């Protein structure tokens, strides 16, 4: 087999490699810190590690897929998201459980995230002509999560779960509102006519490259950053038993 070289201006491959390494390092960190984590927060920090670990494995695959084919690993990308985004919903449930979060709240969050991701996949892969409609449906799922975290049940429960949980939920809320909003940008860049019929990047290969870079940067920010907020909470909340 020919040895695959990465051109120095291949930013797509670069972000796939650095994404793989960052996710691996974050996973090792979260897992090794479990021993020094109070019992009450151990599951939350474990889930942080699982999120980056699942991403690390997918990035490892996506990195070689992209290098060997030069194409976007859209399928692996969505398998990764469909596992990790619901786990982020689990994080919201776990940190508000102390204040009485019900399992129904977890299902609402997970359901909204599935609507968001399945519609995104359909728009990117199965029905590209309908990409605007699918993008809008996906956006409804997204804004419902934003609503729950900022004004709905998650935010209300967080207020009664102690100052540290309230603070962490605010920060996580910013991740969802700003960090997650990077993804639709990738979708718009990579999907033909994704912005209400407007094609931002004309060349297909260039459009896919732009999309992958945007997704890779967003994943690093959101998965590792999200986990670190939970980790910081596990250190600052002294109400832990």
Ligand X SMILES: *C/C=C(C)/C=C/C=C(C)/C=C/C1=C(C)CCCC1(C)C
Where do contacts with ligand X occur on this chain (CB under 6 A)?
A: 81, 84-85, 116-117, 120, 135, 138-139, 142, 180, 183-184, 187, 219, 222-223
| Least distance between ligand X and beta carbon 158 (Å) | 19
| Least distance between ligand X and beta carbon 222 (Å) | 4
Considering beta carbons, is residue 135 or 173 the nearer one to ligand X? 135
| Least distance between ligand X and beta carbon 109 (Å) | 13
Question: Cα–Cα distance between 95 and 37 in angstroms, integer?
Answer: 15
CA 162 to chain centroid: 26
Question: Cα–Cα distance between 42 and 84 in angstroms, integer?
Answer: 18
Considering beta carbons, is residue 158 or 211 the nearer one to ligand X? 211
Question: Cα–Cα distance between 58 and 52 in angstroms, integer?
Answer: 10
Q: What's the 3-state SS for 127-163?
A: CHHHHHHHHHHHHHHHHHHHHHHHCCHHHHHHHCCCH
| Least distance between ligand X and beta carbon 135 (Å) | 4
Considering beta carbons, is residue 12 or 23 the nearer one to ligand X? 23
Four-point Cα dihedral 91, 94, 98, 102, nearest 10: 110
The three-class DSSP label of residue 199 is coil
Quickly count helices (H) and strands (E) in the chain.
10, 0
Residue nearest to ligand X (CB): 120
| Least distance between ligand X and beta carbon 113 (Å) | 8
Contacts 24+ apart (CB under 8 A), 113-116: 113/85, 113/86, 113/88, 113/89, 113/141, 113/145, 114/82, 114/86, 114/141, 115/140, 115/141, 116/85, 116/141, 116/142, 116/145
Considering beta carbons, is residue 63 or 237 the nearer one to ligand X? 63
Closest CA to 215 of 177, 188, 194: 188
| Least distance between ligand X and beta carbon 187 (Å) | 4
| Least distance between ligand X and beta carbon 145 (Å) | 8
Considering beta carbons, is residue 41 or 187 the nearer one to ligand X? 187
Considering beta carbons, is residue 99 or 114 the nearer one to ligand X? 114
Considering beta carbons, is residue 78 or 98 the nearer one to ligand X? 78
């Amino acid at each position: 087999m020919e040895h695959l070289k990465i051109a120095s201006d291949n930013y797509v491959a670069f972000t796939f490699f650095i994404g793989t390494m960052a996710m691996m390092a974050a996973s090792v960190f979260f897992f090794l810190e479990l021993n020094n984590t109070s019992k009450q927060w151990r599951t939350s920090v474990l889930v942080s590690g699982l999120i980056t670990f699942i991403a690390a494995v997918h990035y490892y695959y996506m990195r070689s897929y992209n290098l060997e084919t030069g194409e976007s690993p859209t399928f692996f990308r969505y398998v990764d998201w469909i596992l990790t985004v619901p786990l982020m919903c689990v994080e919201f449930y776990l940190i508000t459980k102390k204040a009485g979060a019900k399992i129904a709240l977890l299902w609402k969050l997970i359901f909204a995230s599935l609507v968001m991701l399945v519609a995104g996949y359909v728009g990117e892969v199965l029905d590209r002509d309908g990409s605007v409609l699918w993008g809008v449906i996906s956006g409804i799922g997204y804004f419902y999560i934003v609503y729950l975290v900022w004004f709905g049940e998650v935010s209300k429960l967080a207020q009664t779960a102690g100052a540290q949980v309230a603070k962490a939920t605010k920060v996580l809320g910013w991740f969802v509102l700003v960090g997650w909003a990077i993804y639709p940008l990738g979708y718009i860049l990579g999907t033909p006519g994704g912005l209400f019929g407007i094609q931002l990047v004309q060349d297909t290969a260039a459009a896919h490259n732009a999309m992958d870079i945007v997704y890779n940067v967003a994943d690093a920010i959101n998965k590792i950053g999200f986990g670190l907020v939970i980790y910081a909470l596990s250190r600052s909340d002294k109400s832990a038993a």
